[in-house]
A and B are shown apart, each in its own frame.
Chain A
Amino acid sequence: MSLRLKLILSFVTISLMVVSIFSAVAYISAREYTRHIEQVRLHKSNEHLIEMLDKSLPLLAQLQHIVPHHENSDNVFSIIDASQKKILPGGSFNLGKHLLTKLLIQPGTSKTQKGSFTIGKQEYLWSADPVPDSQYIIANTYLRDSSDISTFFSYVGSPFSTTLLISIWISVWAALLLARLFLQISEKNTQLEYQASHDLLTRLPNRAAIGRSVQQAMESAKTNNEELLFCLVDIDALKEINDSLGHKSGDILLNQVTQRLKHTLRNSGHIGRFGGNKFSVMIKHNEINNAENIRHKLLENFEPVYEINGHSLYVHATLGIAIFPEHANSAQELIQKTETALHTAKRLAIDSTLYDASQDNNSAERLRLTHDLRNAIHNEELQLHYQPQFDVRLNKISGVEALARWIHPQQGFIPPDTFIEIAEQTGLIQSLTDWVLRTAIKQCAEWRDMGKYLTVSVNLSARNLHDETLGSQISNLLNYWEIAPDKLCLEITETAMMTDPAHAKKLLKGLDDLGVRLSIDDFGTGYSSLGYLKQLPVDELKIDKSFVLNMAKDESDASIVRATVSLAHDLGLEVVAEGVEDQVSQDELSRMGCEYIQGYHIARPMPHDELTAMLISTRTKNNTQLDEIPVDAQSNVN
């Protein structure tokens, strides 16, 4: 039954009930009222009779004479002797008998009494009035008409029916309006519920709804001893399409992907819009729908070209997959593990990965390490080690590269690659670089005060290239410690420079204006354009150690190093070769014209006090200046 019909029926029933109750109350009230009116009339008839009596004559004889003349259907009199409590002749004896049981006879009273009694189904109203100065009472009785109710309704029936009709009419109107109001509220609620749980573009469940679905599916899978596969599909090119063809095109792509995914899975799985460019797929994991098959099926969606606003686009997607209960025990955990798998796939630049705990960067362990690193930077618990750089032409140590080291209180040595990656991912790299610059420049000043004029090289991360305050910070530090700008060398990797070339160029120009040296680190491993490199205000190239390490054995590596040295010189740059581990390589590099060398053959990275002590001891032994340590002496400390 529809809400509208229910409301109409309810309202009409209420109307009928109200009118019925009202009619009953009106009838009872009318009966009470007419009873009162009749009793007053009976009393007045009694009074009239009493007034007719002549007090000088015998009263009883007069009453017995008058009463029969005044009797009719509405007035039946009885004459009662109050002193003897009996009915006297001259009036109705039968009714008088009943009256005697009701009357409160008190000789000498003049009070009127009235009431009613029933004989069978007939109701009699009466009024009894004592005759003044006598023992007689005149009682007047009236048989109430049994057709009272029909008489009543013959009078009020018509207005009541009309009222009923009108109230039903109004009730129906009210029910219709109320039904409309309810429906509107209900529609609105349904709409809000839908909006809260669905993505309005693709009409797919949103992240909140996906979470609930996964939870329910997991509970069901637990009961039935089944496995559940959860997959995230990341559309790689969405941002580019949004940026280049507009958001409408991006929306069209998302809708097309939705249709293809629906077509692929038909009714076997649940698809959701997990976020911006991510879709989710949840499916029962079994022999047919195993991770490999699902991966294959989903990736097939991205093989055919997507036609968007006249553009034919190949869209690539990356998948992350996790399985319940193999990888997770709760919905939240399953989703989190799937996201981890997706990030791993993206990091490794492959199209999909199944969750692998060893690749999980978001583990509790990693979070703890991030927290500890933050504290270590804040409390200056990191150490700065320095690896000497040897000037081949002058045969002396001309500089050092500052390298951060972290000895964790519980875990011991944490590889720099590990904590620098964490710092880069968590934004701690800025604080880390600040600390390295402060410490390295201060140390440079200490060495200068000892008469050793070393150049200190500090590595910058790609993230530092977005720090607008870097230039002023370096300038302040150099001024504070009174260090010549060319005694600070900033090393930036080729890859970092190519991340945002325009920004890098602007920042490097600012740093060059300060007078600090700029070096391209790990040269040869990136994809930098020589034309672009020519425009950068750099002073030196650092050839990546992967080439230098093998140059003695691999002629092609030697050729690359030779070509790089030649190229750098042609561009007016000096060359630093990293990874020099033997005399043969050093000699070869020297022959090629390489200006500086760095590696275990010269010295390992070491704390400042060790380096200082080693230099002092070498000076004592060889009677040389700190800045003129022969390379042979250096090699002894490796």
Chain B
Amino acid sequence: MAIKRNLHNIDIAVRTLIGVALIYIGFVDTSYISNDVVRWLLGIFGIVNLLAATLRSCPVYALADISTYQK
């Protein structure tokens, strides 16, 4: 099933930035947060955001019938 785009470019850019930042804090430079569980949580959230930005579709948006993307 084709994934329907529901993210606007700004939305994608924000998610990409957040995703990259969280992955960096979570997995790359671990000096910011000493707690491993917290770092992992942030890292996973970063991956989720980056994935949504890459696919240009947010599953929560899709379920909630929201779209920031305008044709």
| Residues of A bordering B, CB below 8 Å | 158-159, 162-163, 166, 169, 173, 176-177, 179-180, 183
Contacts and interface: CB of A to CB of B under 8 A. Distances in A.
Interface string B22-43: 0000000000111101100110
A163 B37 CA distance: 10
Contact of A163 (B32, B38, B60, B66): B38
B63 A162 contact: no
B38 A162 contact: yes
Contacts of A158: 32-35, 38
A180 B62 CA distance: 10
Interface residues of B, number: 15
Contacts of A179: 64
A162 B42 CA distance: 7
A162 B65 contact: no
Nearest to A183: B65
B45 A166 contact: yes
B45 A169 contact: yes
B64 A176 contact: yes
B11 to A, nearest CB: 14
Nearest to B60: A173
21 contacts: A158-B33, A158-B34, A158-B35, A158-B38, A159-B33, A159-B35, A159-B37, A159-B38, A162-B35, A162-B41, A162-B42, A163-B38, A169-B45, A176-B60, A176-B64, A176-B66, A177-B60, A180-B64, A180-B65, A180-B66, A183-B65
Contacts of A173: 60
Nearest to A178: B64
Nearest to A156: B35
A536 B42 CA distance: 97
Contacts of B41: 162, 166
Interface string B45-71: 100000000000000110111100000
A169 B58 CA distance: 14
A167 B42 CA distance: 12
Given A158-B33, A158-B35, A159-B37, 8 more contacts: A158-B32, A159-B35, A159-B38, A163-B38, A166-B42, A176-B64, A177-B63, A180-B66
B17 to A, nearest CB: 15
- Interface of chain A: mostly helix, strand, loop or mixed: helix
Contacts of B65: 180, 183
B34 A180 contact: no
B69 to A, nearest CB: 16
Q: Chain B CB within 10 Å — which of A162, A166, A177, A180 has the most?
A: A162
A57 to B, nearest CB: 51
B55 to A, nearest CB: 17
Contacts of A176: 60-61, 63-64, 66
Contacts of B37: 159
- Which 5 pairs from chain A and chain B are nearest by CB? A176-B64, A180-B64, A162-B38, A159-B38, A159-B35
A166 B45 CA distance: 8
Contacts of B42: 162, 166
Contacts of B60: 173, 176-177
B49 to A, nearest CB: 10
A180 B45 CA distance: 23
A179 B66 CA distance: 11
Contacts of A177: 60, 63-64
Nearest to A169: B45
B32 to A, nearest CB: 8
A637 B41 CA distance: 116
A152 B35 CA distance: 15
Contacts of A169: 45
Contacts of B63: 176-177, 180
B18 to A, nearest CB: 10
A183 B63 CA distance: 12
A239 to B, nearest CB: 45
Nearest to A184: B65
B56 to A, nearest CB: 18
Nearest to B48: A169
Contacts of A166: 41-42, 45
B64 A162 contact: no
Contacts of A159: 33, 35, 37-38
A408 to B, nearest CB: 70
Nearest to A172: B60
A385 to B, nearest CB: 79
A22 to B, nearest CB: 14
B59 to A, nearest CB: 10
